[in-house]
Structure 1
């Protein structure tokens, strides 16, 4: 073999060996295109050693956005891959995962368009000396355009018949609801004012923060709302301390209480309603209400809960048997129910058709 050709071949091989090796390890993020709020989600990747030799190195993940540049840099501990071995990121030990988790609120806020950030994720498998990249996978995703919260009840400009209205709104979507908190501001509106002017300049009758639910009953112990007066209100959604969406400003007015709709013909049993509004019924020793059983049900399907906590329910409520037609029902208030006189409670009846009927009530201190 020609000596010059051998020298040329050996020189070529040395040059190739000095270059970074790319493509020896395949990296596939399994959550591409999905929001990545936690380190565990970021580490949901698949790693494959495509070579026929043992490979060792580190996995490095870079997270960047178009506004502030690099916002996270995470690295695995030493990873050893046998020839042809495939592993998932969740089986790998990682360094600095807390650093990414601490950014989750910021990322959530930016993701809904607050900063109009474009996120870029780069996954790299680097050699132990971190001089060569054995595999790389990068991709970008855009902010998720989320719908802001929207007011629901009382409806805009509605005249209501209670001084303790149930204020409800629709949540920010789509986003993890546990990451969102709400603030609500309510003011009296003068005739000469616009709704926005009233909300920004008048003294707040209600100004609450950190609400985890999308419902709030105007507190019984709050500044009383007055008949024939108009009120403006608005809700703001936040992730952490960062506002991410605000509703329109709506108004409602307090009118006469509709006693005739709430009380049964004999005047002693409250009628259930199809909405959650209405003046709370004050209970002393028992809840008395009327129910029209047109479904032939034998037992009433109902629950009682705080109006501010739609998920909880009072336990060990009595079974209420029904007859066809009008039923006049009583629920004796027990001390074990642990009802708070300062709270508004909701009696909810669920009919076989799925329709729900309601009765708001408050209690006095129970003495058995």
Structure 2
């Protein structure tokens, strides 16, 4: 008899777990928990094999102020898979605000001020599908802090640069949000044109997405800056296609008597991961690339093999010291006999993760 009771309890627990696993919520409070409109960006997973008639109830609480508001959508059909509430049901939602100061601020501005919030999502059956009551409920906690403005740093506004491939820096957006990335756009400003108009309508010289850090070394594949021309650039911060901030538009002027010579001799640095995905690159006397994530001061672990003459002796390669963090690696090989103009070579580099990357390059003597 006792064994039967244990078996019955186990079956009930498994059944309850199965019911709870039929629905799920995906919500990013660091992004969508900043406004009332963002609450409806929640993704609801229906893991059953049939559609359900449901209502979504969202309750927002703050640690000190207590309950802020409750949103109840109109009934809608929830199909199998992952989806968001229907726009029609969101438009016809009923919003109830609490009687406190914080709730009044949210009612007037539509935005949640800084605070320690709890976002609770409850999925309720309407009875039409034969399952009245709460089907699933889950809460997300997040300490909401205002995002700092996205500010450009270098080159300064309207600065004159004497390089065809300048490095571009900006202030990172704070607080730090996991998965946040940046996009940088740089365009030429035509004579008599406003910089905002240029950014929106001109063909971009640089349109680089998926930038993880607050800087960009001018891409090697992008057309270099030309002497006597003015350029505009802007940075956007985003996560999962949601824009979190946009910087001002700054201009820079490419003006230098020796710009053509600088363009020829300027070392070009590109991320080693990007170089490994290409067929090959051209090394003009120096092999250059960017390596990030170096944990400590150490020497670069690498080897070079001549593809034209595999038996060519490639000993006595220069030692390349690395510093913790990001490094602009420059391997000077122009005075070495084993490097022949027009020959192809294979560079093998050990990354900080102990992964090995292979990069082909064509050597050109300066």
Question: Which category of TM-score, normalised to the shorter sequence, fits these structures?
Answer: 0.3 to 0.5
TM (norm. structure 2) is 0.42
TM (norm. structure 1) is 0.42
Structure with higher Rg: it is 1
Higher relative contact order (CA 8 A, sep 6+): 1
